[in-house]
Structure 1
Amino acid sequence: MNMKRRTLLATVSAAALALVIGMPILGGSHAMADTLADIKERGKIRIAVDLGSPPFGMTDAQMQPTGSDIESARLVAEALGVEVELVQVTGPNRVPALLTGQADIVMASFSVNEERKKVIDFTDAYGVIQIVVAAGSGAGASVTKPEDLNGVQVGTTRGSTNDLEATAKLPGAQLTRYDDDATLVTALVSGQVDVMASSPQIMAAVNQRRTADPLSVKLVLKTNPYAIGLRKGDDALKARLNEVIAENLKNGKLSEIYNRYTGVPLPATLPKT
């Protein structure tokens, strides 16, 4: 085997190993990069969004991306003076999209938690998501405490903070995990599952289509801030994004977008990330 072929195979193997163990392919050298400068030079920011997570990300009747995160992403691009390229991801692919360089940032109802902070960085919060247990008139109708869900089927979104919280706080429940929020909504509307561990916004999306037996909140598991995800070492980009968030919270633009799509007001003070 010649030297060039051995080098190529070693590079491919290292990349494959990085993917398997969840380490960033961009490696430590990325810490020396300036993603903000790269974005300005190319005149475009690549933002990962989840179009299967209404009302944060979805498609409209014309199959165009819409939702509170989509509008917020466009607001960020406008503030940076560049075009936006939306990179579609699912919940479990948000972190890999950053680490493999497919996206510059992630805006996909990206709740901040300690596990994620070990591998990526976050800006200040620009919204909040409550994690609630909601149920219709079936198995979860009389739930008042986590133990009431022992043996009960509960739907949630795979790999999400909802999944993590439900796993930790509902140990006796039978969790049914769906690949994205849109699939979870469909399962709840069709009656495949009658109890969910997700956000009030997802509950509202379900109730728009499940009018005969709407869901109602039974338990609040947690209130999470969500923020823009970015790679560790992107300090200049993080500082600029925090400025954009602060400016647009102060002028009310982010609050208006949040309220328009979620139907609930944005808290006056957001939790720290």
Structure 2
Amino acid sequence: MGRFITTTLAGAALALICSQAQADQLEDIKQDGEIVVGVKQDYKPWGYLTSDGELAGLEIDLARDVAERLGVELELVPVVASNRMQFLSQGRIDLIIATMGDNEDRREVVGMIQPNYYAGGTNVLAPKSVGLEEWSDLDGRDVCALQGSYYNKRVTQLYGPNLVAFAGIPEVTSALQNGNCVAFLYDNTWIESQLASDEQWADYEMPFETEDPQAWSIAVPLEELDGPYGQKMSEIVTDWHKTGFLIERNEANGIAPSPFLQEMHEKLK
């Protein structure tokens, strides 16, 4: 009986320690008076650098709202697809808000917050002169892509392009415009935004039917997902949908209406 009591007390103590550890990050953020958020700086209009060198965009608005709700200052750290999860796991940032698709592989590395806050799919940006019509037209051809994008493996397996991967969008778009690849494999949301607003893409198109729709998630460290920090972020995202804040900021940033945002608003309002 004594051993059972001792074991039980030890288990309870361990549970208390784990609970306190989970609460540490949210409390640390509040005590430090600052939250560090990883964002894109090359994904206009979700996250980009203005002519004044300031970060702006829809996801920057979301990061500012998180900081305001927590009553802390905001530090923004530029990230790319290939390093954002690493930065979070290493403690270099507290939160990811960086056009990150939610999938099972990533859920094993970082804490994907539910509900999701946005959604996109896979397509390509290509010169009209190339004449791409079907996904199968990519077979055996050089296609530019971003390192770490979730759709790279799928598209390679299905359609057989030779992917030429780069770390950032400026490098990719430069290669595309220099004719080093026939298309840029990327998220349809970014492509549609560029075609609608940037004259440099007047001779380009998004030729395919968008495939593999995937929801986006903000992310906390994996060990924080079910603790107070993860729960707080889930409450914030839920409120973004419920109040229509995401729809309002989407429109304010000049982004076309999102069926996903409308559906989530109707569901949660």
TM (norm. structure 1) is: 0.80
CA contact (8 A) 2:142 2:180 kept: no
Note closer, same or farther for the CA distance 1:184–1:246 as it changes in structure 2 (3 Å cut). Answer: same
Note closer, same or farther for the CA distance 1:83–1:136 as it changes in structure 2 (3 Å cut). Answer: same
Q: Structure 1: which amino acid aligns with 2:229?
A: L
Moved beyond 6 Å, runs of 4+: none
User: 3-state SS of the aligned residue for 1:92?
Assistant: coil
Pairing partner for 1:154 from 128, 137, 143: 143
Identical amino acids, percent of aligned pairs? 24
- Equivalents in 2 of 1:72, 1:165: separation in Å? 30
Q: Does residue 261 of structure 1 match 2:249?
A: no
- Equivalents in 1 of 2:20, 2:119: separation in Å? 29
TM (norm. structure 2) is: 0.81
Q: Does residue 137 of structure 1 match 2:128?
A: yes
- Equivalents in 1 of 2:20, 2:40: separation in Å? 26
Partner of 1:8: none
Pairing partner for 1:192 from 160, 180, 183: 180
Q: CA deviation at 1:163?
A: 2.3
- What are the Cα deviations for residues 114-145 of structure 1, in whole angstroms up to 9, with x where unaligned? 11111111112111122113433233x2422x
Note closer, same or farther for the CA distance 1:204–1:86 as it changes in structure 2 (3 Å cut). Answer: same
User: 3-state SS of the aligned residue for 1:255?
Assistant: helix
- Equivalents in 2 of 1:53, 1:164: separation in Å? 21
Partner of 2:241: 249
- What are the Cα deviations for residues 60-112 of structure 1, in whole angstroms up to 9, with x where unaligned? 01010112111111111112221111122221111111111111111111111
Partner of 2:44: 54
CA contact (8 A) 1:185 1:206 kept: no
Q: Does residue 81 of structure 1 match 2:71?
A: yes
What's the Cα RMSD here? 2.5
Where structure 1 has 5 or more consecutive residues not aligned to the other structure, the ranges are 1-28
Partner of 1:22: none
Number of residue pairs matched?
242
Q: CA deviation at 1:196?
A: 2.1
- What are the Cα deviations for residues 210-262 of structure 1, in whole angstroms up to 9, with x where unaligned? 34412123132211111111112212111111111111212222122223436
Q: CA deviation at 1:169?
A: 2.9
Note closer, same or farther for the CA distance 1:269–1:51 as it changes in structure 2 (3 Å cut). Answer: same
Note closer, same or farther for the CA distance 1:185–1:162 as it changes in structure 2 (3 Å cut). Answer: farther
Note closer, same or farther for the CA distance 1:112–1:173 as it changes in structure 2 (3 Å cut). Answer: same
Q: Within 5 Å, which residues of 2 pair with 1:195-206?
A: 195-204=183-192, 206=194
Where structure 2 has 5 or more consecutive residues not aligned to the other structure, the ranges are 1-17, 265-269
- Equivalents in 2 of 1:180, 1:93: separation in Å? 11
Q: Counting helix residues as a fraction of each chain, which structure ranks higher? A: 2
Q: Does residue 112 of structure 1 match 2:102?
A: yes
Q: Does residue 239 of structure 1 match 2:231?
A: yes
Note closer, same or farther for the CA distance 1:90–1:134 as it changes in structure 2 (3 Å cut). Answer: closer
CA contact (8 A) 1:133 1:221 kept: no
User: 3-state SS of the aligned residue for 2:82?
Assistant: helix
